[in-house]
Amino acid sequence: MKLWLKLILILCMAMGIGSIASHGLIHWLGIRSSHSGYRHYGSEDLKPQTILHGSSIAWDGLDWGQISEVLDKAIDSWITPGSSPSEWEVEHQRSPQLNRAIIVVSPYDMNEYWLCDFRADIVPLSQSIEDMQYCGADKQLCKRILSQYPQMFIRNFFPTIGRADGVMVGIRAKLQELISGVDSKEAIDAPKLSTTKTSEVVEKLSDWPLARLQRRLVLMRTGFQGRHWFNGPKKVALEHLLERAEQQGQVVMVVMPVSPIYQKEFLTPKVMQEFEETLADIQHRSPQTKLIRLDYLPDLDDDATFSDLVHLNMYGQRIATAAFLTQLETY
Amino acid sequence: MIFTSFEFVLFFAAVLLIRSYLRNFNVEKWFLLIASYLFYMSWSVPCAFLILLTSFVDYFVGVGLGRIKNQRKRKLLLIVSIVANLGVLGFFKYTNFFLGNMNWGLTELGFHVQPLYYDILLPVGISFFTFQSMTYTIETYRRNIPASHSPRDFLLFVAFFPQLLAGPINRAADLLPQFASRVRATAEEFEAGLAQFALGAVKKLVISDQIAPNVDMIFANPGDYDGLTLLQGAMGYALQIYCDFSGYSDMAIGCARMMGFRFMENFQMPYSALSITEFWQRWHISLSSWFRDYLYIPLGGNRKGMERTYINLMLTMLLCGLWHGASWNFVFWGGLHGVALATHKAWKCWTPFVVLLNNRPAFRIVWSVVSRFLTLSVVLVGWIFFRAQNWDIAWLYLNRMTTWTQDGTQVISPYILPALVAVVVAHLLIHKDSNWAEEISQRRVPIRIIYYTSLILCITSLGASDSAPFIYFQF
C-alpha cells in the first residue's frame, strides 16, 4: 500500500509540475489560449448597428475601419482565430440588438475538416451533436469534433495540449531571436493565431521561397487532413445564422478569395463545384441575403495580393475593400 | 480505437477498474475476453468473426494434437492449422497481388485477359494474430507445450487486446500459462508498465506523428527535391517507422504490464546495432525470432553448409518482406536484408583479422563507427523501398539521393531535424541493452518525478492532436 501511495504522490507531483510548465510555456511563447476578443470599428461615439462575423481572413481581407467610415456605421466583431459559422452562430446570440450582419466566408473556413481551435469553448456539446446528426457527418469528423470537448477540459491544466504547432513555431522563433537577435518572419510557418493589423502587412506570397511554401502546405494539409467538404455542421450553422440574422435585419454575405496556389493545391474542380452548390443552396434558403463575390475578382487572382496561402496582404486588401464598397452600393 | 486516443484511455481505465473488482478468476477471464473482442469490434465487427473462426480451428487442432499419438495424423492436423491460417492470410492479403501478377504475366506472354481485382477488406492485425495462433499449434505439435483445454483461455491468448492489432507476436509458451493463474500487478510492475506506455506515447505522438507529414511530402514527389532533402526524408522515415512501431509495442507491453501480464520485448534500440545481424536481433524481435524459429531453423538454418545457409537466409528474408505487404517493394526490401545478412555471415569468416586489430582502442572506435555507418546505410536504403509507393519512385528517390543532386527544392524540415537530434542523443546517453522503463521504479524519487514530468510535458506540448493510425496496422 505504501508503494502505491508513493507512486500516486510521484505522479501527482509530476502532473502538477507539468501543468505549471505548460502554463509557463503558453505565457512565454505568447500563444493565444483564450478564444474571446472583441473589436469595434468606427468612431466610439457611434452606436454599433452592424455585426461582422468572420475569421482572420475577414479581418485581413477588408479594411473595416474604412468600411465603417464610408458607411458611417460602427461595426462590432467577436474575434476568434480560425473561426467558422459554427462559432459565429453562437457569437451572434451575444448581439441581439444589431440590425445588420456582414458574414465573411471562404472555401478555407467553410471547409468542414478545418476545425477551429476554440470550437469546444464556444459551441455547446449538445449543439455540436445535434448539427452532426442533422447533416450525417462521417465518423472521423464526429470523432475529431467530439474529442475537442475533453481536450477543452484538459486544457485547464495543460493549456499547450493540441497546440504543438504553436509551441514548435514559438520555440523556433525564440531560438532564432536568441541566436541572431532578430525576430524572424521565416520562422512563423504555422497558421496564424495572431490578430495583427493587416493594413500594415506588405509581405507577398509570391516572394516566398519554395521551401517555406512547401512547409506551409504540409501544415495546412495536415490541419484539414487534405480534405474539403462543405455539407456538414458548418453549413447547418450558417443556415441557422442567416435565418436568425435575416429576422433581425439586413444580411450581407461576402465570399473571400484564397490564393491561386491554395486553389491549385486543394480546390479541385469537384471541390469547387461542391462549394458553389453549397453557396447556391444557402442562397436559395436565405433569399434576402445579399451575396458579394470577391473571389471572382480577377485582380485578386494573383499570389502577390496575398500575405500567405489564404490571407490577403495590404495590396489585396485595398482591391477587395474598394470592390466590396462598390458592390455594396449597387444593392 | 488506437492506444493514443482518448477513447482508449477511457476503455483501459474502465477495464482496470472493473477487473480490480472481480473476485472470481473465471469471470475475470471472460471479462477480458469480451473486452478484447469489443476492442477489436471498434475497428471492424465482421472481422471479429474471422478471429473467432481461426481461433476455433487452432483450438481444435491443438486438442487433437494433444490426444492423437500417430505421428502422421498429427502432421496432418498441423498442416490443417497452417493451411487454415496462411489460407486466411493469403486470401485477405495476397489475392489481388497474385491476380495482378498473373495478369501481368499473361499479358507479357501475349494473352489478352480482363484484369481481375476484388475489393477485399484487409482485417486489421491479421498478420499478427494468425502468426501468434500458429505458434500454439506448432509448439503443441513439437510437444513443447501441452494442448489447451480451455477454449476461453485460448481465445483470450489470440485476441488479448493489448497485442491484438500489431503484436508483439507472443509465443503460446509464454502467454498461455499466464492465463492459468490469477495475476495482479504490484506497484512496481504497474509503474514499469505506465512508464513504458508513456514512453511509447511520446515516441508515437511527439516524434512519429509530427514528422509524418514532412516525410510524406518528400516521398510523394522525390523528383522535386535535392539530395540533402531526400536524405533527410529517408532518415525521417527511418525515425518515423521506428518511433511508430516501437512506440506501439511499448504501449502494448505497458498496458499488459499494468494488468500484471508480461509480453516479450519487441525493440531494443535497433539503430545502435553494429551489424545487420544485430539489427535483426533488436528490430521487431517477436517477428524476427518467429521467422528464425519456425522457418529458418526448420529449413536447416546454418547446419547444412554455407551455401545452404545463404539460401535459407534469403528465403526467410524474402518471405519476411512479403509478410509486410503484398508488393514487390516489400519483397525487394526483404531480399536486400537477406543479401546483407548473408554478406555479414560471409564477412564473419574474416574475424581473425578483425580480432587481431581489435586490441587497439583506436581501431575499435573507428571500427564501431564504420560498422554503424554501414549497417545504417543498408537499413536506410531498405526503408526507401519499404516506404515508396512503387518501384519507379523508389529508384528515382535512391538515384537522386545517392548522386546528391542539386537540382530541386531544398527543404529543411523543422520537425525531422530536432527529432533526429533527440533520437541520436538518446542513443548516445542510454545503453543499448538497458530497459529504462523497467528500471524506473528502482530509481530515486526526484529522478522519477523528472522522468514523468518530462513525458507529460512532451505529450501535452509537442504531441500531435490528430494521431494517425499506426503504420504496422496495414500489415
Asked if the C-beta of A218 comes within 8 angstroms of chain B's C-beta atoms, the answer is: yes
Q: Is the pLDDT of residue B4 over 90?
A: no
Q: In Å, how far are A47, A98, B172, B175, B357 from A92, measured between CA atoms?
A: 17, 9, 62, 59, 79
In angstroms, the CA B159 to CA B287 distance is: 17
With CB atoms and an 8 Å threshold, state whether A158 touches B460. Answer: yes
How many other C-beta atoms lie within 10 A of the C-beta of residue B226? 18
The whole-chain average pLDDT of chain A stands at: 84
Least confident of A73-77, A96-100, B137-141: A96-100
Min Cα–Cα distance to chain B from A223, Å:
9
Of A117, A112, A80, nearest to A238 (Cα)? A112
In angstroms, the CA A102 to CA A324 distance is: 11
- Per-residue pLDDT tens digits for A263-313: 998 999 999 999 999 989 988 888 888 888 998 989 988 889 998 899 998
**Residue of A210, A218, A227 to mutate for B, most B C-beta atoms under 10 A:** A218
The whole-chain average pLDDT of chain B stands at: 88
Told to judge if B324 belongs to the known catalytic residues of this protein, a careful annotator would answer yes
* Chain B CB contacts of A189 below 8 Å: 414
pLDDT of residue B284: 92
Cell of A79: 474575434
**Confidence label for B35 from pLDDT (cuts 50, 70 and 90):** very high
Per-residue 3-state assignment (H helix, E strand, C coil) for B313-343: HHHHHHHHHHHHCCCHHHHHHHHHHHHHHHH
- What is the residue extent of each domain of chain B? 6-182, 188-468
Q: Is the pLDDT of residue A196 over 50?
A: no
| Strands A100-105 vs A290-293: parallel, antiparallel or unpaired | unpaired
pLDDT of residue A182: 61
| Strands A50-53 vs A38-41: parallel, antiparallel or unpaired | unpaired
Residues 9-48 in A contacting B (C-alpha not used; CB under 8 Å): 10-11, 13-15, 17-18, 21-22, 25
With CB atoms and an 8 Å threshold, state whether B414 touches A215. Answer: yes
| Beta-carbon contacts of residue A101 (< 8 Å; ≥ 6 apart) | A50, A51, A52, A53, A92, A241, A245, A248, A249, A250, A251, A252
Alpha helices in B160-275 (DSSP H): 161-164, 172-175, 187-201, 209-220, 227-258
Closest residue of A to B205, CA-based? A164
- Looking at the partner chain, which of A154, A210, A225 has a beta carbon nearest the beta carbon of B409? A210
Average pLDDT over every residue of B345-366: 75
ipTM of the complex: 0.78
**Residue of B456, B461, B466, B467 to mutate for A, most A C-beta atoms under 10 A:** B461
Cell of B337: 536484408
Of B329, B339, B455, B457, nearest to B390 (Cα)? B329
Beta bridge partners of A40: A76
pLDDT of residue A202: 81
Contact A71, A121 (CB under 8 A): no
Q: Which CATH superfamily is domain A39-140+193-330 in?
A: SGNH hydrolase (3.40.50.1110)
* Chain A CB contacts of B191 below 8 Å: 7
Of A42, A101, A99, nearest to A72 (Cα)? A42
With CB atoms and an 8 Å threshold, state whether B217 touches A158. Answer: no
pLDDT of residue B104: 84
State the catalytic residue, choosing from B324, B337, B344, B427.
B324
Asked if the C-beta of A189 comes within 8 angstroms of chain B's C-beta atoms, the answer is: yes
Contact A181, A189 (CB under 8 A): no
- Per-residue pLDDT tens digits for B392-411: 899 999 999 988 888 888 88
How many CB pairs below 8 Å do chains A and B form together? 95
Helix (H) or strand (E) holding A38: strand A38-41
Helix (H, G, I), strand (E, B) or coil at B55: helix
Contact A36, A78 (CB under 8 A): yes
With CB atoms and an 8 Å threshold, state whether A172 touches B414. Answer: yes
- Looking at the partner chain, which of A11, A158, A214 has a beta carbon nearest the beta carbon of B409? A214
Asked if the C-beta of A172 comes within 8 angstroms of chain B's C-beta atoms, the answer is: yes
Cα–chain-centroid distance for residue A65? 20
Contact B166, B248 (CB under 8 A): yes
Contact B327, B388 (CB under 8 A): no
With CB atoms and an 8 Å threshold, state whether A150 touches B6. Answer: yes
Least confident of A40-54, A148-162, B76-90, B365-379: A40-54
* Chain A CB contacts of B222 below 8 Å: none
- Per-residue pLDDT tens digits for B208-232: 988 988 898 899 888 888 899 999 9
pLDDT of residue B353: 66
Amino acid making up residue A42:
G
* Chain A CB contacts of B217 below 8 Å: 214, 217-218
Amino acid making up residue B206:
V
- Per-residue pLDDT tens digits for A22-56: 999 988 888 877 776 778 887 777 676 788 888 88
